[in-house]
Copies of this chain bind each other. A is one copy, B any other.
């Protein structure tokens, strides 16, 4: 897992993969993680919005610590990712249950997940309480270029998931529209 240019970190979220949100749980002093698809890019800087509320145990840690890590899983661990979404950190040590390896982040107390393709350390910069939206700024990104499986997956919402297929390249058509350094 090596550092990855922050100005390209939005490219992990823009395609809409299922992500994991890692936090440090002050209640029991352990790491927690939740599965999420309700997330979008807000700015290339990068800035992200995600939707969660007190019905998720992780929400309390986001509100208190104002930080998290967004981790990008690949299709080889899709069962784990679904399992992580089906239980609660309130009564489960998910890192133990799902054999996840927490690695030390550089700027936040929430953990990087070694089994993921990429990790983005984030600070919570706003909470739009009315809509349960958290606004996050990415402050450090990590990428495991040595990993063979790089295909992410996308929740349909009905219990099925779309895996990444072939890429289309329209860089020439979009040359004027691409942000600098991407």
- A175: which B residues are within 8 A, CB to CB? 159
Is the Cβ of A157 less than 8 Å from the Cβ of B37?
no
- Let me know if A86 is at the binding interface, CB within 8 A: yes
Is the Cβ of A14 less than 8 Å from the Cβ of B156?
yes
A150-182 interface bits toward B, Cβ cutoff 8 Å, 1 = contact, 0 = none = 010111111111111111111111111111001
Report A110-133 residues with CB < 8 Å from chain B CB.
126, 128, 130-133
**B15, B164, B174, B179: which contacts A86 (Cβ < 8 A)?**
B174
- A40: which B residues are within 8 A, CB to CB? 38-40, 49-51
Is the Cβ of B49 less than 8 Å from the Cβ of A157?
no
Residue of B nearest to A40 (CB): B40
**B15, B50, B85, B130: which contacts A177 (Cβ < 8 A)?**
B85
